[in-house]
Structure 1
């Protein structure tokens, strides 16, 4: 830092590279011969006897009125009030509660009042500055008093070393109310924001900063070759406590930093502190986590692409666990719903951490999909089919989880409207995977799993596979086979066969099964499948005969044209 002198009488302010400042009062009203400390008790020895006791927390300070009241309007007023009230005690005692920084900082104030050197650093400047304001140590009482000296050093630190700003914020954790009242938090946040939103090579780095950034001071070429990323400040900012982090993010937003960068920083902080049970703060209270979650939601950038859907899902899951306000939960839900049309299956994978839970949080995803379905009722979107495919892919991913209940699977499968799937092959694949992973389901549960599938929307290949799938419930299999019979009958009719009666009979059988909810035995299913195979063979033969007849008819037509042409020439 070099050396700076602010002379007023014997006052000096000096500093070094590590932003350390030594201050003295402008005028020495009383010189201390010795400062003695025994346990928690301080005694200042001077040529005159002690005539004031000040109790700060568990510590007692035996002092002199002249030294203290000459620099503190607060103490001056308390002593005067005691005289006005007629107090005749020779050694008045003043109790000070909630003193900023406690007895350790009051000790520095005492040294300053008695003309001793006081070392100011980035770690103690904030509490000392707050203590000076608490005691009302302004220049109105004495030029070069403690408020003006701490203000000068504080302003210097805020515009010099990057790391020292974070030391100041750390020291403010125990004096948050005073630090906020005196705008120390605001000033630190603005200083961080100012440095974070400009190119690192444009501000001077201290030795510690140069090491932390792995660059040389004022070496622009080195900065360029090292390729410092625009998120170089994430790690330092993520070390802040949530209330301080919120203030910094607000300042960064005001500076106009890109929303994607702000959102990434919020996600970085969240991943560091509350991404899972192993990363939660030690012994967190429910209230602390609730306040933290609500704070994170409130500072999210409003821009659509500022954060990922996966991060928002994690935040929504945390919000549901912490029971944050429904208004904030709805806000997060809407944010995710807006992103579904551009999501991948991996974006929806949010792990659970309980031993009895499913591997992935299906309930939260169902909640978001339902919110999306509600939103498109008012504003239909052409990308609904894309979301339908996304949900089917997610179902296929989570279906193998043996702890996934039938209700959870069905709830998600039915969350979207009917027109969300043009073809149900993907949904059928997910259902088949679920049935395969849960072989002990009852017939009723199997039917419930299949409730969302419309077998009329299966492709021919999907229909053939499903009709031979023994994992499907018997009544569904019967309907699929009968539907296949109907399709066969139609095909055989179209090639000119006499199977109109077969077609009619098959349709009647399907209708009866549907109306009576007929449950067919496995033997009957087997017979129906054999009948379908026979019909396929017959259809194949009919198609071959039809092709032969068509080829012969075509050959006769060509011959007729040739001979007719020759006759015409003759």
Structure 2
């Protein structure tokens, strides 16, 4: 019940939201309804029939002539004096509003409420019930009620704005929508500590005169403080155009942009069935209890004011719903605050998904894609799996490519202007500058995961995969394991790729950026081209060499020399075990040849020593026989044999050195080859 207010100016009276007029020409006890007709309870027969929609009013001309300028003109313009029928199908507020107008003209008390004041105000304007006809006419009284009662109340302002949805354009032209929107905005921006009025979700156990124990518990601990999102639920009952008006007025008042974004996400979760948002993303932690009672609270507020679906075929209703949801999505895109992080990236991507499905205007879709690019590093894999509506692929890879391009453009513009950020140049106030390398690294991991997921689609072309994989600069990835998984998944799903196409696909990754586990897998991966396997093994050999050099240098600097090679033994062994079988067989063959050469060299040395001993024994025998004075052919033969023995000895030594050199050369060759593949 509103506070008692009364003001008198001649015959004017205004008390407790009830308006009456003492100037009437027909004494009556009230109105009576019979089926779809209203009759005045009086002995004077009616001389005027008014049709409004499908309801008939049997009235008298004189009370209407005194207070309705439009009715007086219509009555005087009747060509036939016997025609006393007037049709008012375009009356704002309909039959309900005209019923109240008729009662007011007959001097019957009319109870003004938040649900009927807007319709009554528009009907009074339509019927021209001005002060020129009567002091304290209906226009004046309804305006006074709006100004002094409705606009000072949080609940009544929302209900009047809700009831004005069916009164366009009258409510807009009479500034009812603007005044209610500004009233709601002022109260929404008020300090929560100063809020004393009721709102949806407010604890009901707090009474107007609490007991001393309740005051003692609540006041010092402040457990019953008003949350900053107290107004979300009430504002979310408004139609989208009125909601936009309220949000625009709240922006002008200077509310924090993240709170405005949370209100927009809350509204979207109520009116867009295909949008699934978590409490974490909407800033509604701990409000589940509030949501459970919101429907009943709103219903008690608005009474019978619910959205009415027009009758028609299912196809017409479906088209109507699609148009309504398209309007909501377009309006929400246009009203999102320009600051970064005003809404979550997940919400933007889900809104983008619905925008593509509902075929929203391309300009708004492009604007939304740019907004996603501003905070693309916050996205998750499930958010990016947006279905493709062109039928070419399972997921919209082109959309993710555009989002990635917007992200890179954003990062580039921030880099190019160190003194002035991109947010300041484009009006995005309050947007913090991110750590660019970290943002790119997160995006690189996200893109790799996305490529792994979409690579299973057999309709995904190699060109699209390659373009998306190479879109990020090389500095964005410190490790290419995720990219290797995506490449391997694509090869597995596309077994018919040619050798050239497989080499082209593998060029998107850098073998030097693969981890040990990835190298072990790649060395045994039969789907990879042989050249890629060799590159993987070579890059791993370089890593091992660098690791040995670094460890040796560190040990020298620390004064120790022992055990610097021990950590690499297991690594070399594991790498050799992971080497393809063909490489291991080649190494075993070379090792066998080296052992054979060593055995032949040792046998030749033994034969040489045996021959040397035989020659010494023969020389001694020859010396004994030389003492004899005769010379014969036998002596000459022994001399030749001696020379031959000496020549054979030197030649054998030369041959032994050559065999040893060739053995060492053969042994060095495989060692260099082994290092190259380790």
TM-score bracket relative to the smaller structure: 0.7 to 0.9
- Offset at 1:349? 4.8
Partner of 2:227: 229
Partner of 2:109: 117
What's the TM-score once normalised by structure 2's chain length? 0.64
Partner of 2:534: 481
- Offset at 1:370? 2.7
Partner of 1:75: 71
The verdict on how the C-alpha distance between 1:360 and 1:485 changes in structure 2, with shifts beyond 3 A counting, is closer
- Alpha-carbon contact 2:152-2:183 (below 8 Å) kept: no
Q: Could you list the per-position Cα deviations for residues 74-125 of structure 1 after superposition, in whole angstroms to 9, with x for gaps in the alignment?
A: 112222333xxxx133242222122111112111111111111112111111
- Offset at 1:359? 9.7
3-state SS of paired residue (2:51): strand
The verdict on how the C-alpha distance between 1:317 and 1:214 changes in structure 2, with shifts beyond 3 A counting, is farther
Partner of 1:343: 378
- Alpha-carbon contact 2:48-2:59 (below 8 Å) kept: yes
- Alpha-carbon contact 2:519-2:536 (below 8 Å) kept: no
The verdict on how the C-alpha distance between 1:483 and 1:61 changes in structure 2, with shifts beyond 3 A counting, is closer
Give the distance between the partners of 1:43 and 1:403, measured in 2 at CA: 75
Partner of 2:158: 166
Partner of 2:271: 273
Match of 2:400 among 341, 365, 385: 365
Partner of 1:32: 28
Partner of 2:260: 262
- Offset at 1:142? 0.5
- Alpha-carbon contact 2:388-2:396 (below 8 Å) kept: no
Match of 1:399 among 429, 452, 457: 452
5 Å-filtered alignment, 1:61-460, equals: 61-82=57-78, 87-205=79-197, 211=202, 215-217=206-208, 221=219, 224-274=222-272, 276=274, 283=318, 285-340=321-376, 342-343=377-378, 345=380, 348-349=383-384, 364-374=399-409, 383=436, 386-396=439-449, 399-400=452-453, 404-405=457-458, 406-407=460-461, 410=466, 412-418=468-474, 420-432=476-488, 434-435=489-490, 441-444=495-498, 447=502, 450-451=505-506, 453-459=508-514
- Offset at 1:69? 1.7
3-state SS of paired residue (2:90): coil
- Offset at 1:200? 3.5
Partner of 1:518: none
Give the distance between the partners of 2:122 and 2:590, measured in 1 at CA: 93
3-state SS of paired residue (1:70): helix
- Alpha-carbon contact 2:189-2:250 (below 8 Å) kept: yes
- Offset at 1:320? 2.0
3-state SS of paired residue (1:231): coil
Partner of 2:522: 467
Partner of 2:47: 51
Partner of 1:2: 3
- Offset at 1:383? 2.6
What's the TM-score once normalised by structure 1's chain length? 0.75
Give the distance between the partners of 1:223 and 1:73, measured in 2 at CA: 61
- Alpha-carbon contact 1:317-1:364 (below 8 Å) kept: no
- Alpha-carbon contact 1:73-1:135 (below 8 Å) kept: yes
Q: Mean Cα displacement is larger for which, 233-242 or 363-372? A: 363-372
- Offset at 1:258? 0.7
Give the distance between the partners of 1:533 and 1:229, measured in 2 at CA: 77
- Offset at 1:25? 1.4
- Alpha-carbon contact 2:201-2:230 (below 8 Å) kept: no
5+ unaligned residues in a row in structure 1: which ranges?
Answer: 16-20, 496-523, 547-570
The verdict on how the C-alpha distance between 1:154 and 1:96 changes in structure 2, with shifts beyond 3 A counting, is same
- Offset at 1:413? 2.4
Give the distance between the partners of 2:585 and 2:539, measured in 1 at CA: 15
Partner of 1:527: 582
Give the distance between the partners of 1:223 and 1:192, measured in 2 at CA: 29
Q: Could you list the per-position Cα deviations for residues 130-154 of structure 1 after superposition, in whole angstroms to 9, with x for gaps in the alignment?
A: 1111111111210111111111112
Q: Could you list the per-position Cα deviations for residues 285-311 of structure 1 after superposition, in whole angstroms to 9, with x for gaps in the alignment?
A: 332222211111111111123122221
The verdict on how the C-alpha distance between 1:236 and 1:535 changes in structure 2, with shifts beyond 3 A counting, is farther
- Offset at 1:373? 3.6
The verdict on how the C-alpha distance between 1:402 and 1:374 changes in structure 2, with shifts beyond 3 A counting, is closer
The verdict on how the C-alpha distance between 1:73 and 1:425 changes in structure 2, with shifts beyond 3 A counting, is same
The verdict on how the C-alpha distance between 1:328 and 1:22 changes in structure 2, with shifts beyond 3 A counting, is same
Q: Mean Cα displacement is larger for which, 423-432 or 100-109? A: 423-432
3-state SS of paired residue (1:399): helix
Give the distance between the partners of 1:46 and 1:231, measured in 2 at CA: 54
Give the distance between the partners of 2:119 and 2:343, measured in 1 at CA: 37
- Offset at 1:233? 0.8
5+ unaligned residues in a row in structure 2: which ranges?
Answer: 210-214, 278-306, 310-316, 417-434, 549-578, 592-666
Q: Could you list the per-position Cα deviations for residues 184-210 of structure 1 after superposition, in whole angstroms to 9, with x for gaps in the alignment?
A: 11111111111111124424425x779
The verdict on how the C-alpha distance between 1:487 and 1:3 changes in structure 2, with shifts beyond 3 A counting, is closer
The verdict on how the C-alpha distance between 1:542 and 1:36 changes in structure 2, with shifts beyond 3 A counting, is same
Q: Which protein is bigger by CA-based radius of gyration?
A: 2
Partner of 2:659: none
Give the distance between the partners of 1:487 and 1:535, measured in 2 at CA: 23
The verdict on how the C-alpha distance between 1:278 and 1:331 changes in structure 2, with shifts beyond 3 A counting, is closer
Q: Mean Cα displacement is larger for which, 66-75 or 360-369? A: 360-369
